[in-house]
Structure 1
Amino acid sequence: MSDHGVETRQFGHRARLALPPALALKADHQAHAARTMWNLLHAWWQMMPKEKRTLQNADAAIRQGRQDIDFLAVLPAQAAQAVLKTYFQAWKNCWDGRADAPNFKGRFRTVMTVDVPQGRDLNITRVHRRWGMVNLPKIGRVRFRWTKDLPVGKHADKENRITGARLVKDPLGWHIAFRVQTLEPVPEPHRGPEIGIDVGITVPLARSDGQTYEHDAWLTEREQARLLDLEQRAARRKKHRKPGERTSHRLHHTYDQIAGLRAKAKRRAADWQHKTTTKIADTYGTVVVEALTITNMVKSAKGTVDQPGRNVAQKSGLNRSISAEAWGRTVTLLTYKLAHRGGTLAKVPAPNTSRRCSACGFITPGSRETQALFVCKNPGCGWTGNADHNAARNILHLYRMGHALIPAAGRAVARRVQRVKPATAR
């Protein structure tokens, strides 16, 4: 942040590309060349002695490879350099304990991507209200969906510009993700009220004021029936395939259709999450959520041969439902959207927020009668209400009582209590 009350903001914007079949084939070739470049780098790394594993030697190796192998020459030089930098960064992340060691990338397991590191190579122009044009190295001029104003043309300068992009292919086609840098005023503190939010499965988001955010199924009944039919068809074709036999083109086509429907559902879920979190960030100045360890919540209950798990099928269904709601992504979206608007996201300890009565503060056995109903069994209370509403009230009350998690030495430290004072004022 500078003395003039402005700050540099970096964000990404993803747009769909309208690639004709011939240009889409060129993009596919570049993505396969980038994956091959990564695999060759990894093989080179494993063969070289430790003292020769330097960035300079690796750069010389990929330059020689681009000269000797025609297939690698379809990848632009800047994109090849981006592969090299990404590979070395992957090893740094491994050495710092932030990720596992890099490995070879499989043809069918790896997302197809191509980097465009230099923003000046894109030469972006807007040609229509809904379309823009971008220059892709060794591909050509391509149209993309214009859904957000970008700093291009006379609106671009040293502080407001596009610094680069990445081409990404998913089951719905090729997309371009722009890396945007802008200079914006520092937001004033958000003067909106405080709100507690409880995340769930039946009710995705429940607020402490009694309101909820819900959604329908991501696929229509017709799409769900189509997905089931495709999955059964793929299972039949896979069943008749002999061991070691290559996957047929028909089975690959069925897999692509399944992936397309699942990608459509994922896109709709992300759209709902973005719209809902934007509405919350615009309205409230402080949002309080639980500090959930989601990775522990979705661990398998299968167990071992000696100690097999119980209710494995039910636990697997619960894990799929938790993963489908993407609670972690909701918190991530709220974090940066609130910060961009001058708001704050706070986290409180999660234990007993759904078992404690938000009126009297006691935890009594049997109060959670059903998934949706909370009835306090304390003889002096007897409060009745929606279970998700009760949990959201407890979450907000914990924050107001000063039980918010405080980051210290890289870890979250919290005072966890079994009983707190009644949550009266809301």
Structure 2
Amino acid sequence: MSQNSLVKRQFGHRARLALLPAEALKADAQAHAARTMWNLLHAWWQTMPKGKRTLANADAAIRQARKDIDFLGVLPAQAAQAVLKTYLQAWKNCWDGRADAPNFKGRFRTVTSVDIPQGRDLNITRVHRRWGMVNIPKVGRVRFRWTKNLPVGKHAGAENRITGARLIKDALGWHIAFRVQALEAKPAPHQGPEVGIDVGVSVPLALSDGETYEHGEWLTSEEKARLLHWEQRAARRKQHRRPGERTSRRLRRTHDRIAGLRAKAKRRALDWQHKTTTHIARTYGTLVVEALTITNMVKSAKGTVEEPGKNVAQKSGLNRSIHAEAWGRTVTMLTYKTAQHGGTLHKAPAPGTSQRCSACGSTTPGNRESQAVFVCKNPDCGWSGNADHNAARNVLYLYRMGLALIPAAGRAVVRRARRVKPATAR
């Protein structure tokens, strides 16, 4: 196989860790030390003059902090350097307009994580079909769930290897996210058909060829009843807490149970999104989606004191439904999966796609009678059908008329999309 037919791909793989209680305590200590290191670095950055905010001075400050503060010693030196690198990247993202300025990290409101920047420290081995072993600095050899073939042992090389990892703790326990670099065969152009995709709330994904992808509730009736029970118990226990009083351990355990159920629902939603987007990317060669500005769509309708908003409660419920469907994450998955299978993804302008009749092309006020039914008010047409499928056909029509944009395809798309993925993702 020639070198031109190969493409380098970087992606993440997340696996569940099986930590013993003592190992979990060590991982917790490292995560809290990393968060403290971030906060100390941010305080140093805010107090230093602009001329002295350099990489060398920041590195010297970190080394001195590790000598002066004992509990920071549980954090490996490479992980401390990764905190510095992440902090500087956060400022770069702020200066480029991609994110807000970095701030202090709270104990209970931020992701608990530790970075392992060097892949050679991991020393990964596969024990048997379901489990593998990985070395975590200053924690030891721990087991992780083996659900994907990783480039280790004789399968590893200069182009196929694990470049690093990150330990992440959520409501369901500790996980490890591997950063994998692989050299794979360049996919042949996908010969599948073209399809337009409309995202919605009542119907998550509607395709222009009439296909519909829907899902049920992410929690069972028993789990929803249990979630309601714990939420009511947390509300009752909050009533007995005085202003400024620390959260009790009992209330904290209740919050952990609530977070566990919500994390379970999120994992089921991610599983549905991955399976659905993979099937679409394998079936169709050209995908066309709407170029939605989701941040503007989910803005609050509360308004101001002088000019209060209307239908605030209804708009809040719609915003929650949009967030729950995670349209942006769906488009991100479709982007990199389509590129992996040799297809292309295009974005069409969103205005007018839900009001235009896909049969006659007229845009008449009141065409869309409800959320699910579309009836053309043009007396010469009168076509009626599903509103979501009608919007998907309009999206595909804009692409065929040359009004859609195509993002940069290929390796850059795959690499950028994989970084955004919750692992990522993230």
Answer yes or no: same fold by TM over 0.5: yes
Determine the structure 1 residue equivalent to 2:19. Answer: 19
Q: Which stretch of the first structure deviates more once superposed, 395-404 or 305-314?
A: 395-404
SS in 1 for 2:206: strand
1:235-384 to 2 correspondence within 5 Å?
235-384=235-384
SS in 1 for 2:151: coil
Q: CA deviation at 1:96?
A: 2.3
Determine the structure 1 residue equivalent to 2:394. Answer: 394
Q: CA deviation at 1:364?
A: 2.2
Question: 2:143 is matched by which residue type in structure 1?
Answer: R
**2-side partners of 1:396 and 1:329: how far apart?**
21
The question of whether the paired residues in 1 share the 8 Å contact of 2:345 and 2:407 is answered with no
Q: CA deviation at 1:63?
A: 1.3
Determine the structure 2 residue equivalent to 1:417. Answer: none
**1-side partners of 2:3 and 2:21: how far apart?**
51
Determine the structure 2 residue equivalent to 1:159. Answer: 159
Q: CA deviation at 1:406?
A: 6.1
**1-side partners of 2:268 and 2:407: how far apart?**
34
Q: Which has the higher contact order (CA 8 A, sep 6+)?
A: 2
Deviation string for 1:351-401 (max 9, x for gaps)? 111111111111223322222111212111111211111111111111111
The question of whether the paired residues in 1 share the 8 Å contact of 2:190 and 2:341 is answered with yes
1:12-411 to 2 correspondence within 5 Å?
12-405=12-405
Determine the structure 1 residue equivalent to 2:415. Answer: none
**2-side partners of 1:404 and 1:179: how far apart?**
33
Question: 1:129 is matched by which residue type in structure 2?
Answer: R
Q: CA deviation at 1:47?
A: 2.2
The question of whether the paired residues in 1 share the 8 Å contact of 2:17 and 2:142 is answered with yes
**2-side partners of 1:336 and 1:216: how far apart?**
26
**2-side partners of 1:285 and 1:373: how far apart?**
29
**Superposition RMSD in Å:** 1.3
SS in 1 for 2:142: strand
**2-side partners of 1:104 and 1:370: how far apart?**
46
Question: 1:183 is matched by which residue type in structure 2?
Answer: L
Off by >3 Å, runs of 4+ in structure 1: none
Deviation string for 1:306-333 (max 9, x for gaps)? 0001110000000000110000100000
Deviation string for 1:189-218 (max 9, x for gaps)? 111100111111111001111110000001
**2-side partners of 1:300 and 1:68: how far apart?**
46
Q: CA deviation at 1:89?
A: 1.7
Q: Which stretch of the first structure deviates more once superposed, 215-224 or 88-97?
A: 88-97
Q: Which runs of 5+ in 1 are unaligned?
A: 409-426
TM-score, normalisation: structure 1: 0.93
Deviation string for 1:35-54 (max 9, x for gaps)? 01111111112222222222
**2-side partners of 1:209 and 1:152: how far apart?**
43
Q: Which runs of 5+ in 2 are unaligned?
A: 409-426
> Percent of counterpart pairs with the same letter?
81
Question: 1:283 is matched by which residue type in structure 2?
Answer: T
Q: CA deviation at 1:97?
A: 2.3
The question of whether the paired residues in 1 share the 8 Å contact of 2:345 and 2:406 is answered with no
Q: CA deviation at 1:76?
A: 0.6
Q: Which stretch of the first structure deviates more once superposed, 90-99 or 249-258?
A: 90-99
Determine the structure 1 residue equivalent to 2:424. Answer: none
- Going from structure 1 to structure 2, the CA distance change for 1:406 and 1:279 (only over 3 Å counts) comes to closer
Question: 2:17 is matched by which residue type in structure 1?
Answer: L
SS in 2 for 1:197: strand
Determine the structure 2 residue equivalent to 1:416. Answer: none
The question of whether the paired residues in 1 share the 8 Å contact of 2:14 and 2:177 is answered with yes
